[in-house]
Structure 1
Amino acid sequence: MAEPVRADGETLTPEDVARVARENAPVEIPEESREKVRVARERVEEVVESGDPVYGVNTGFGELVDQRIPQDDIERLQLNLVRSHAAGAGRELDREEVRALLLGRLNALVKGYSGVREVVVDHLATMLNEGIHPVVKSRGSLGASGDLAPLAHLALVLVGEGEAKVDGERMDGADALATADLGPLTLRAKEGIALINGTQLTVGLAALAVVDAERAVRAADVAGALTTEVTMGTTAAADDSIAGVRPHPGHAESARNVKRLTADSEVVESHRNCDRVQDAYSIRCLPQVHGAVRDAARHLREAVEIELNSATDNPLIFDADETDPRASGTENAAVLSGGNFHGDPLAMPLDYLTNAMTELAAISERRVDRMVNPNVQEDHLPPFLTEGSGLRSGYMIAQYTAAALLNENRATGRPSMDNTPVSGNQEDHVSMSAQSAFDARAAVENATTVVGIELLCGAQAAEFLPDDLDHGVGTAAAYEAVREVVAPLVEDRPVHEDVERADALVASGLLEERVEDALFESLE
């Protein structure tokens, strides 16, 4: 059984999200987090008993904030909130997206500032561990007040409504809960708004995006190093001295990668004293461009790690002694309304990642062109990497696909720059962070495919190197990894199958695993 992931509100990482979302790692809630949940709930109960008007507890929502709700209607208020906000549209979230959403919501609630009962977080944990996946519409979030509509679709299942999938079977919410011996919840004061008010769709998608983006840029270093070899480029541009006088961390890391991947390369050594003075920018500036992409992904990672372990609903429940005395609440409990649900801390770095992955795809596509284009490729390479070009097209159209994916990334908008006021203009500035997350994930997927195409062409170009020249340690492992899934291209064939296999090699992490194993063995 996989090692459990701790939902403690403090230590969740993007890798934890990926493990739960993709590998079905179980989730556990430590006792210290449970105690925080119980204390926060006691404070909510105290506020309810006081009868004082408190937003989210006994008032309306959004524009209806001034509407006072009678004590007898508080539970109905929370149920109505969930039902009315389940207004999403578009495709349904896939399995890993739903699991990321569930985990993010659970981890935010166990921080102990939301005021839900312990049974609520237990239901969420059981749903993850037993594979109960709410059917959630993907569109409808504005990223403030958080990801309301998607989270409401999730919460419907907790109250026995909506739909969920269990082992691929679609069923209504109550039946889905029953598969794990759970009953529908009757939401108490504050629990409806606590469940739907937050950035958990955005941060769940962002966590998966940053894991995938970092893998893509590491694979791009591998593909770029192989391209450098097969185009008879030099690795001198990756020298430590160059990185040292412009010390961006990503630059240095990518430069080191190129050097270690091409260590002991007879191909590189074979033309050390050739007449070429400099390589094209797509080869020579690899460390600078890949490095900038690394730094952009690192920026998003920092934001995601904070957000995963943050309380993002509204209002939040605090110890009265620790807050502004003007806060609403009671002697022991302070209820503060604020804006932690606003998605801009994620939306902006997500749009930054979209820009960065577009650049990664752009430089990779240019290296593909240098391998296939007869007007710029080296003399030892045949047009479009195939003998008998003209009769055969080789990998000509693979470069078209790379160009199409690149253009798709370039045409993607930057949602955080937009704003559409809602809720009677009470919510007059929103982040569009969920759309930023969807766009960033799409940009990562496209860039990953482009890198796969470069890797595919690099392996094919290697077939035309002199037989007596060996690759570097890492580039040899990359070549062998490609050849395990794609045979050399001799006669024309449906190239989409080659592209799909190379893409999977990168996206799965298998390429990185094979290369790192080879590099480690070389040190023994």
Structure 2
Amino acid sequence: MQLPETFHFGEHHLTTGIAIGIAEHKIKAVLTDSCLEKIKASCQRVQNIVDKGDTVYGINTGFGPLCNTKISKEDTRILQSNILQSHSVGVGTPISEQLAKLMLILKIHALSKGYSGIAETTIKRMLWHMENDAIPVVPSQGSVGASGDLAPLSHLFLPLIGLGKVTYQGKTISTQKLFDKTGLTPLELGPKEGLALINGTQFIAAHAVLVVQKLQHCLRHADIIGAMMIEGLQGSIKPFFEELHQLRPFKGNQHVAGRIRTLLQGSEILEDHIDCERVQDPYSLRCIPQVHGASRNTWLHLKELLETELNSVTDNPIIINDELTISGGNFHGQPLAMALDYAALAASELGNISDRRIYLALEGNSPGVPKLLMEDTGINSGYMILQYTTAALASENKSLCFPASADSIPTSLGQEDHVSMGSISGRKALQIIENVEKILAIELLTAAQAFEYRKPLKSGVLLDEIHKFLRTKVSFAESDRVFADDIEKGIEIIRKSEIIGLVDKTMMKKKLQWDSPHLNEFEMY
């Protein structure tokens, strides 16, 4: 499937791939005339409520425990400006520009559905920030993920009223300086607009978008590197046979087994030891389909839930039509919070089994592969200490796996008495994934070192191409050196997805196809 060239906010179906494509200016996102008509109609409904004097939460009442405090018609606009300022209480290191921009994109899409009472001028200003990469500075801490991501979203939209900071043309500047540069002026928010802006799950959802993207990259790398380790340690192909996985047909397991079969296709190394006396391999090799596959299933679950969230209206109250306004709980982050905690565990386990394969490679129990992956040890420590690093990272990830969604602290004087902590779930999941990228980079180095000892035998064309590419970046280690330099190169290869790109290119050139019955389901569109 190809990503679209143009996306219609509020009308088209938003996915992880499309959101990232918009953020990277690969997809043009627009507000259509029909979308703007829905926005105008919803805004007018809010104004009608104000004019009639009907009491509706957040339009002419205070917020949270102040929901019973009536606000006069004259003060409804001041109320909306005040809420952005009073709720801008975030602390901590700012999130990345990419995350903040994704928040902006997701919020525009949700508000454009026409149930939030936002004004046309406000939504167009948000679109201007997105198109011109004037990205608000958003602190990383302060959301409990229940009444929406109140603090992060407040900071995200302070620039609409002339406050806060933005990153623009490579520099972080005040919004006033942005206005001086561009000629923009502060907006006066109408009734409900402030509340519509800061109610919602876009901080959690933006993190989930990156979790889906980055975890998928880790999963792909893990299969490729695991296959290279199988070759280096002379593992058996039989645990990956289709016949076995038809008897326990989890989608992820079948998909991973098929990928490994494809990666090992045509291998001389496999043929060389096909009749060896080894009965079975350790779990870290033999159970790759079951472990990687379980993480794949988790990824699929998060992707499916996230797509529902990306196309939902999550602020409060929601203006259904002229007669019906509902003060509900669509802002509650629990659906994504729990899924993100699950994804964090899946990512951690991917790093955990990778560390086990690294340890296995160092033992020297595979014929032809020396202990610590180096011939002259004693004077040389070989790859011994690289596994210390993966052990430390794997252990750190385990400590981060406590589910944030298991906690709840009442806020807003008890009005918000159960919260999701989904913002913490998202932040922790990304932290774990970053650690897994480092673990996989080290496994790539150790697998390539073991792979070298199989020469002059060749593997399949895919793994041979990967090994040749890696040797242009990191040389075979005959003696000790500063391995931190090698690790940094490995991390860069992982984060740039260079070997994934190489595999895709080689498969197209050789007209190969993945041997997986669930290929499309595990793609990210």
Could you state the TM-score of these two structures normalised by the residue count of structure 2? Answer: 0.94
Offset, 1:4: 4.6
Structure 1: gaps spanning 5 or more residues: 320-331
Asked if 1 retains the 8 angstrom alpha-carbon contact of 2:5 and 2:26, the reply is no
Question: Per-residue deviation at 1:173?
Answer: 1.4
Deviation of 1:387 after TM superposition, in Å, equals 2.6
Change (3 A) 1:6 1:500: farther
Cα deviation per residue 1:241-267 (whole Å; 9 max; x = unaligned)? 111011100000000000000000000
Which residue of the other structure, out of 149, 169, 172, is the alignment partner of 1:170?
172
Give, in angstroms, the shift of residue 378 of structure 1. Answer: 1.1
User: Where do 1:398-417 residues align within 5 Å?
Assistant: 398-412=386-400, 413-417=402-406
Looking at structure 2, the residues matched to 178 and 74 of structure 1 have their Cα atoms a distance apart, in angstroms, of: 29
2:49 equivalent to 1:61: no
SS of the aligned residue for 1:424 comes to helix
Q: Which residue of 2 is the match for residue 347 of structure 1? A: 337
Change (3 A) 1:152 1:24: farther
In 2, the alpha carbon distance for the partners of 1:224 and 1:72 equals 66
- Is residue 369 from structure 1 mapped to residue 359 from structure 2 by the alignment? yes
- How far, CA to CA, are the matches of 2:236 and 2:210 in structure 1? 35
1:453 and 1:499 in contact (8 A); partners too: yes
Alignment partner, residue 159 of structure 2? 157
User: Which residue of the partner structure matches residue 277 of structure 2?
Assistant: 275
The residue that corresponds to 2:461 in the other structure is 473
* Paired amino acid for 2:449: Q
Alpha-carbon contact 2:60-2:70 (below 8 Å) kept: yes
In the TM superposition, residue 171 of structure 1 has moved relative to its aligned partner by 1.8
1:131 is paired with a residue of what secondary structure? Answer: coil
* Paired residue secondary structure (1:141): coil
Task: Give RMSD over aligned pairs.
Answer: 1.6
* Residues 426/246 of structure 1: CA separation in 2 closer, same or farther (3 Å cut): same
**Distance in 2 between the 1:297 and 1:33 partners?**
32
Shift of 1:167: 1.4
Question: Which letter does structure 2 place at the counterpart of 1:60?
Answer: G
What is the CA deviation profile of residues 393-414 of structure 1, one whole-angstrom value per residue up to 9, with x for unaligned ones?
Answer: 2222221111111111100121
Say yes or no: does 1:435 pair with 2:460. no
2:522 maps to: none
Of 397-406 and 59-68, more deviation after overlay is shown by: 397-406
- Give runs of aligned pairs for residues 123-522 of structure 1, distance below 5 A: 123-319=125-321, 332-374=322-364, 377-412=365-400, 413-467=402-456, 469-522=457-510
CA-CA distance at 1:484 after TM superposition = 2.6
Letter in 2 for 1:204: A
Q: What's the offset of the Cα at 1:493?
A: 2.0
CA displacement at 1:27 relative to structure 2 = 3.0
Shift of 1:478: 2.1
Question: Shift of the alpha carbon at 1:218?
Answer: 1.0
Counterparts in 2 of 1:434 and 1:24: CA distance versus 1, 3 Å: farther
Q: What SS does the aligned partner of 1:175 have? A: helix
Shift of 1:182: 2.8
| Other-structure match for 2:518 | none
Q: Is the alpha carbon distance of 1:523 and 1:25 closer, same or farther for their aligned partners in structure 2, counting shifts above 3 Å?
A: closer
Shift of 1:523: 2.5
Aligned-residue identity in percent:
38
Q: What CA deviation, in whole Å up to 9, does each residue of 1:383-430 have, x standing for no partner?
A: 221231121222222211111111111001210000000111010000
Return the letter of the residue paired with 2:380: R
What is the identity, as a one-letter code, of the residue corresponding to 1:455? L
Give the Å deviation of 1:22: 4.8
Structure 2 letter corresponding to 1:431: S
Q: Which residue of 1 aligns with 2:515?
A: none
Give, in whole Å, the separation in 2 of the partners of 1:91 and 1:373: 42
How far residue 460 of structure 1 moved from its aligned partner, in angstroms, is: 1.1
Residue identity matched to 1:464: Y
1:243 and 1:149 map into 2 onto residues whose CA distance is 47
Bigger drift between 25-34 and 396-405 goes to 25-34
Give the aligned partner of residue 326 of structure 1: none
Matched residue type, 1:419: S
Q: Relative to 1, partners in 2 of residues 1:6 and 1:395: Cα closer, same or farther, differing over 3 Å? A: farther
**Partners of 2:218 and 2:303 in 1: CA distance:** 14
Q: Distance in 1 between matches of 2:12 and 2:145?
A: 22
Residues 427-455 of structure 1: per-residue CA shift (max 9 Å, x gap):
00000001000011111111122112111
Measured against aligned partners, the alpha-carbon deviations of 1:169-198 in whole angstroms (never above 9, x if no partner) come to: 222213324544432111110000000000
Post-superposition CA distance 1:326-363 (Å, at most 9, x none): xxxxxx24211000000000000100001111111111
Greater Cα offset, 499-508 or 121-130: 499-508
Q: Counterparts of 2:340 and 2:108 in 1: how far apart (Å)?
A: 22
Match of 2:342, as an amino acid? Y
Letter matched to residue 430 of structure 2: R
Conserved 8 A contact 2:10-2:111: no
Q: How far does residue 514 in structure 1 lie from its aligned partner after superposition? A: 0.3
Go from structure 1 to structure 2 and tell me whether the alpha carbon gap of 1:20 and 1:112 turns closer, same or farther (over 3 Å shift). Answer: same
Could you say what secondary structure the match of 1:170 adopts?
strand
Structure 1 residue aligned with 2:106:
104
